[in-house]
Chain A
């Protein structure tokens, strides 16, 4: 089982960024997925969730209306479109596999760092 994130970098406030997460070693198309972030010096924060078929999503209030989670099951890939980025979005972003109970994270990628700074 492997999750590999990419797409992080340094971006100015107000700009956009899209993160990707390529999954392997399990049946991605039947598994719900999440994004979780870890800001420097802070605790973990759940960001977004998407059901296995992409038909149900949920977001943290802090990103609702700015971030969009999506997936392409034909490519075994999870995405996070981040718009109107703010300094407080600076964090290591992890994609995480759902255990199967709608909200535990049993497999994590290595993370991709997003830095929002002018």
Chain B
């Protein structure tokens, strides 16, 4: 099973600041990695797939990069609605696995 480790566990930032979230895989997943946003009491929302492709309707301030084992989700300028938990997920191998999440909180 591919293990995905996300860092940091918590990111404390102010609106308008840049957020950089990391996801590291235990083995190469090529570019088969996605990012999701989840707010309390809501289902997750797909943000990025195949490492850098924005899903339908996702604002341009969200961007993804990386390949192999190291990936980054960047939020260029945090909006109030961006404070949430973010998960990475791989589809390279079965079982599909998620990282443990990064909580982006208001500083």
The chain A residues found within 8 Å of chain B, CB to CB, are: 34, 36, 43-46, 49, 58-61, 94, 99, 101-106, 108-111
Report which of B32, B55, B56 forms a contact with A103, defined as CB distance below 8 A: B32
Q: By the criterion CB–CB under 8 Å, are A102 and B91 in contact?
A: yes
In chain B, what residue has the closest Cβ to A5? B43
Report which of A45, A94, A101 forms a contact with B49, defined as CB distance below 8 A: A101
Given contacts A106-B46, A108-B43, contact A44 B94 (CB under 8 A): no
Tell me if B98 is interfacial: C-beta within 8 Å of chain A.
yes
Within residues 70 to 107 of chain B, which ones have a CB less than 8 A from any CB in chain A? 87, 89-91, 94-101
Q: By the criterion CB–CB under 8 Å, are B49 and A99 in contact?
A: yes
Q: Give chain A residues whose Cβ lies under 8 Å from the Cβ of B96.
A: 34, 46, 49, 103
Q: By the criterion CB–CB under 8 Å, are B99 and A104 in contact?
A: no
Q: Please report the C-alpha to C-alpha distance between residue A105 and residue B96 in the assembled complex, in whole angstroms.
A: 11
CB distance from A97 to the nearest CB of B (A): 10
Q: By the criterion CB–CB under 8 Å, are A108 and B44 in contact?
A: yes
The chain B residues found within 8 Å of chain A, CB to CB, are: 1, 32, 34, 36, 38, 43-46, 49-50, 55-56, 87, 89-91, 94-101
Q: Give chain A residues whose Cβ lies under 8 Å from the Cβ of B34.
A: 104-105
Q: By the criterion CB–CB under 8 Å, are B98 and A44 in contact?
A: yes
Q: Please report the C-alpha to C-alpha distance between residue A49 and residue B32 in the assembled complex, in whole angstroms.
A: 17
Tally inter-chain residue pairs, CB-CB below 8 A: 61
Q: Give chain A residues whose Cβ lies under 8 Å from the Cβ of B50.
A: 101
CB distance from A117 to the nearest CB of B (A): 21
Q: Please report the C-alpha to C-alpha distance between residue A60 and residue B96 in the assembled complex, in whole angstroms.
A: 8
CB distance from A89 to the nearest CB of B (A): 16
Given contacts A94-B43, A110-B43, contact A43 B95 (CB under 8 A): no
In chain A, what residue has the closest Cβ to B93? A103
Q: By the criterion CB–CB under 8 Å, are A58 and B95 in contact?
A: yes
Report which of A60, A94, A99, A102 forms a contact with B95, defined as CB distance below 8 A: A60
Report which of A46, A59, A61 forms a contact with B98, defined as CB distance below 8 A: A46
Q: Please report the C-alpha to C-alpha distance between residue A92 and residue B13 in the assembled complex, in whole angstroms.
A: 29
Q: Please report the C-alpha to C-alpha distance between residue A63 and residue B99 in the assembled complex, in whole angstroms.
A: 19
